[in-house]
C-alpha cells in the first residue's frame, strides 16, 4: 500500500492559536467594557452528540476568559418558552452571543427560533440578516463552520482565487454559506448534492474539494484529482467490530485519499475545532462593538 503523502491541515492547532489570541485580547477590553464577553448556548433534550458539542463550547468559553450562560432544557420544552428565553438573552447586556444547539427535538421549529435571535448576537451567523450580508459581501457575523474552513485555507496560504472549488452539500449551515464565501474570494464554485448526476465526474474536476454531507467514505481515491485540496466537513460516528464503542470519521476515505491529495483535513481534528473557534470569535466581535 502506498504511503500517504498529503499534508495535514491541522484545525486543532489553528483553533488553539485563535483561542490564545482571544485570551490575550479579552483582558484589555474587559477594563474598558467592565465585564468579560458572554456566550449563551441553548440546548434542548439529551442528544449525546449535542451534549458533547455543548460541553466543548462551554469549556472553550471558560478557557479564553468568556462567561458561559449555557442553558439546558428538557425535551418537552415548548417553542414559546424557548422564544421567551431568547428574548430575555437579547435584552441581557452581559450576553454577546446566542447559539441554539441543533438538531432540536421534532416538535420545535428551529428556523423560527433562529429568527428570534438579535442579529448582532447571532454567534452562529445563521440569522437571515447575517446570511443576507454574506450574499451582498457586507460585514456581518459569519456562519461558523464555513468561516472555519476559510480560516484554515488562509492559515496554510492556500489561495482559492480562480480555482475550481466543489462543495458537496447545500445546507444552510455549511454548503450554501461556504459557496458564497468561496465566491467572495474569487473561486469558481460548483455546488453538488444528493440529486447531482455523476458526482465522481464533478469531484474529479475539483482543485478544492469540500464534502459536507454526513456520509462515511463518500469520497474515495478515484473521485479525487491528484494534487487536490480536500477539506472534510463531514462528521459521522461509525460503530463496527474494530470500534464497538464507535469512532468519528468524515465523508472522505481518509487513508486512500491522502495518497493522492496535496492537502487534507483529518476527522477529528480538522474542521470541528475550527467551528468552536469561530463561534468564540463571533462572540468576541459582538463584544468588541461595545467599545465606543
CATH code for the domain of 87: 3.40.50.10860
Same domain for 250 and 158, yes or no, is yes
| Residues 147 and 250 occupy one common structural domain | yes
- What is the pLDDT at residue 4? 58
Name 282's Cβ contacts closer than 8 Å, sequence gap at least 6: 97, 122, 123, 124, 125, 141, 142, 144, 147
Marked catalytic residue, from 10, 19, 101, 163: 101
Residue-wise pLDDT for 66-119, tens only, equals: 999 989 999 999 999 999 999 999 999 999 999 999 889 999 999 999 999 999
The β-bridge partners of 165 are: 189, 208
Domain shared by 171 and 98, yes or no = no
Q: Which helix (H) or strand (E) holds 44?
A: strand 38-44
Whether residue 134 lies inside any domain: the answer is no
Q: How far apart are CA 76 and CA 58, in angstroms?
A: 23
Residues of the chain where predicted confidence (pLDDT) is lower than 50: 1
Q: Tell me whether residue 216 is exposed, middle or buried, using C-beta atoms within 10 angstroms of its C-beta: 0 to 12, 13 to 18, 19 or more.
A: middle
Is residue 205 flagged as an active site residue? Answer: no
The verdict on residue 200 lying in a domain is yes
> Taking the C-alpha atoms of 258, 154, 161 and 135 in order, what is their torsion angle to the nearest 10 degrees?
110
The one catalytic residue among 96, 124, 207, 232: 124
- Report residue 27 as a C-alpha cell: 483582558
Q: Which CATH number is 218's domain given?
A: 3.40.50.720
pLDDT at 158: 98
Domain match, 159 and 115 both: no
In terms of residue numbers, what domain contains 193?
143-272
Binding residues for NADP(+): 169-171, 235
Active site residue 124: yes
Q: Active site includes 57?
A: yes
The Cα–Cα gap between 151 and 154 comes to 5
Same domain for 169 and 50? Answer: no
Q: How far apart are CA 107 and CA 248, in angstroms?
A: 28
Catalytic residue among 19, 57, 122, 251: 57
- Known binding residues are 169-171, 235
Q: Is residue 289 part of a domain?
A: no
* pTM, 2 dp: 0.94
Strand partners, 122: 98
- Please, what is the angle between helix 11-33 and helix 271-288, to 10°? 20
Query: What does the pLDDT read at residue 1?
Result: 45
**Counted domains in the chain:** 2
Predicted local distance difference test score (pLDDT) of residue 266: 96
Amino acid at each position: 500500500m502506498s504511503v500517504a503523502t498529503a499534508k495535514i491541515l491541522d484545525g486543532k492547532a489553528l483553533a488553539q492559536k485563535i483561542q490564545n489570541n482571544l485570551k490575550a485580547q479579552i483582558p484589555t477590553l474587559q477594563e474598558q467594557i467592565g465585564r468579560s464577553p458572554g456566550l449563551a448556548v441553548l440546548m434542548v433534550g439529551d442528544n449525546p452528540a449535542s451534549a458533547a458539542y455543548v460541553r466543548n463550547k462551554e469549556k472553550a468559553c471558560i478557557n479564553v476568559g468568556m462567561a458561559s450562560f449555557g442553558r439546558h432544557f428538557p425535551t418537552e420544552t415548548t417553542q414559546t418558552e424557548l422564544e421567551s428565553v431568547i428574548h430575555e438573552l437579547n435584552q441581557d447586556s452581559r450576553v454577546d452571543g446566542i447559539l441554539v444547539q441543533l438538531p432540536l427535538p421534532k416538535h420545535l421549529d428551529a428556523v423560527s427560533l433562529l429568527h428570534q435571535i438579535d442579529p448582532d448576537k447571532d454567534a452562529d451567523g445563521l440569522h437571515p440578516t447575517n446570511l443576507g450580508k454574506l450574499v451582498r459581501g457586507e460585514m456581518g457575523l459569519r456562519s461558523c463552520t464555513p468561516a472555519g474552513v476559510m480560516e484554515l485555507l488562509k492559515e496554510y496560504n492556500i489561495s482559492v482565487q480562480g480555482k475550481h472549488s466543489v462543495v458537496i452539500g447545500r445546507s444552510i449551515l455549511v454548503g450554501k454559506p461556504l459557496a458564497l464565501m468561496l465566491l467572495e474570494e474569487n473561486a469558481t464554485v460548483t455546488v453538488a448534492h444528493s440529486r447531482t448526476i455523476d458526482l465522481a465526474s464533478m469531484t474529479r474536476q475539483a482543485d478544492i474539494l469540500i464534502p459536507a454531507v454526513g456520509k462515511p467514505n463518500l469520497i474515495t481515491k478515484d473521485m479525487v484529482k491528484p494534487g487536490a485540496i480536500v477539506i472534510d466537513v463531514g462528521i459521522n460516528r461509525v460503530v463496527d467490530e474494530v470500534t464497538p464503542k464507535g469512532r468519528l470519521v468524515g465523508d472522505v476515505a481518509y487513508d486512500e485519499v491522502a495518497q493522492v491529495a496535496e492537502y487534507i483535513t483529518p476527522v477529528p481534528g480538522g474542521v470541528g475545532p475550527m467551528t468552536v473557534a469561530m463561534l468564540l470569535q463571533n462572540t468576541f466581535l459582538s463584544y468588541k462593538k461595545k467599545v465606543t
